[in-house]
A = this chain, B = another copy of it.
Amino acid sequence: MSLSVASARPLRLSTAEADFETRFAQRLHWSAETDAAIEQRVADILADVKARGDAAVLAYTQRFDGLSAASLTELELTQAELKAAFDGLPPAQRDALQQAADRIRRYHEAQKKASGESWTYRDEDGTLLGQKVTPLDRVGIYVPGGKAAYPSSVLMNAIPAHVAGVGEIVMVVPTPRGEKNPLVLAAAYVAGVSRAFTIGGAQAVAALAYGTQTVPKVDKITGPGNAYVASAKRRVFGQVGIDMIAGPSEILVLADGSTPPDWVAMDLFSQAEHDELAQSILLCPEAAYLDEVQAAIDRLLPTMPRAEIIAKSLNGRGALILTRSMEEACDISNRIAPEHLEVSSREPHRWEPLLKHAGAIFLGAYTSESLGDYCAGPNHVLPTSGTARFSSPLGVYDFQKRSSLIEVSPAGARRLGQIASVLAHGEGLQAHARAAEMRGDA
């Protein structure tokens, strides 16, 4: 079969076929390749920035971004510049950015209230137990430059940090040859970024992790980036916290056939247009509906400015899968643990309880993933590549940490001292035992 560039034929599969498991596993397969040359260059850049600070960051910024400056201070964006970028936007963009930020803030405030507050309780003997939840002091947010410069990512990273109460939010964004993206700067203003530097790559990650004369050392670094940035984040992990390292973006649509096929086709496109490695999968128990979606793909694809990327993604990694039932579709979804999961059904609340693993669940035909990407409120930084089995969307909790609180009463010390003494002796740790006994005997 030969395909023209702008024709998209996602793989057709059926769970009833004998070779389904094999073909499906092949389609899902993706593995992060680590490139030894990149690894070595990143290690060198990190060591150099650690040793020489500002001077090294300036040298790499000149070399990789074609941007010269006499000092790193020149590469800091002032709050006035950020505000000017916002004020200078067309009113529709300014309003959209502000409304998106307001909704994202509201959602993350609810998240903080539901799961991010300190708590304590007292035992019957007066012993106090609990956890104190506190914000990180200072975080770094990496924002890619160039073609992948997404102002929405600035909102999604900075607003949860702000809601958490982080003292200082430091943004880095490369501006190759000095070209600044006004929407990114405006988003930084709306989201409450404290300081911003026009630096990027491994050198920016190093500056945030170790601190330089000009760039303050942070406690955690979040935000997406290319292979150099991902490698640098892995390497500084432990020295600072990091968020997840993202793989290609994915959408899984569970459809019962009730949603207009054009809508589903466009949702598959909206994932595919990100990147030719992005993955769009549709699961449905109605064969005729899969045909209708394919027809919608054929009809709509030529109208898309990014048709070529969409076609490559759908042809290389997409799939339209006929299932025996919606229940089976839910089972398959749980095996994939997709980043984005649309339940495009008349009865989304019937299926939602069956769905165990997903970054974000979009319920009902009106809930297109793109609304979630920009402005519904929840975070668009989500676990990819099946990591939703064990990890969560970026949230306020990523910008907080917890400290256990314990205050043992004199009565509690007698009771607990006996238990601890027995167990400590059992582990051969006599100082632990004595420390516990001393309090109990007092």
A114 within 8 A of B: yes
A205 within 8 A of B: no
Binds B, one of A19-27, A54-62, A194-202, A430-438: A430-438
Q: Report the minimum CB–CB distance from A146 to chain B (whole Å).
A: 12
Are A110 and B114 within 8 A (Cβ)? no
| Contacts A363-B407, A370-B435, A442-B366; A114 near B131 (Cβ below 8 A) | yes
Most interface-central of A116, A306, A367, A368 (chain B CB within 10 A): A368
Q: Report the minimum CB–CB distance from A397 to chain B (whole Å).
A: 7
A121 within 8 A of B: yes
Q: Could you mark each residue 333-375 of chain A with 1 if its beta carbon is under 8 Å from any beta carbon of chain B, else 0? A: 0000000010000001000100111111111111111111111
| Contacts A115-B119, A241-B390, A431-B270; A374 near B423 (Cβ below 8 A) | yes
Are A371 and B438 within 8 A (Cβ)? no
Residues of B within 8 A of A110 (CB): 119, 121, 129-130
Closest to A300 in B: B434
A117 within 8 A of B: yes
Q: Could you mark each residue 74-91 of chain A with 1 if its beta carbon is under 8 Å from any beta carbon of chain B, else 0? A: 000000000000000000
Q: Report the minimum CB–CB distance from A115 to chain B (whole Å).
A: 4
Distance of A306 Cα from B424 Cα, bound (Å)? 13
Are B439 and A263 within 8 A (Cβ)? yes
| Contacts A363-B128, A371-B420; A435 near B389 (Cβ below 8 A) | no
Residues of B within 8 A of A442 (CB): 260, 366
Main secondary structure of the interface of A (DSSP, over half): mixed
A173 within 8 A of B: no
> Interface residue tally of chain A, by bracket?
35 or more
Interchain Cβ contacts under 8 Å between A and B, 29 examples: A115-B133, A131-B378, A134-B356, A150-B427, A151-B427, A219-B390, A260-B442, A269-B431, A270-B435, A304-B431, A306-B428, A341-B403, A355-B403, A357-B401, A359-B403, A360-B404, A360-B406, A361-B404, A362-B406, A364-B407, A368-B408, A370-B432, A370-B433, A371-B413, A374-B423, A375-B419, A375-B423, A376-B408, A392-B401
Beyond known contacts A99-B419, A269-B435, A304-B430: 8 more, CB 8 A cutoff: A110-B129, A137-B356, A266-B431, A274-B429, A341-B403, A371-B417, A393-B402, A395-B402
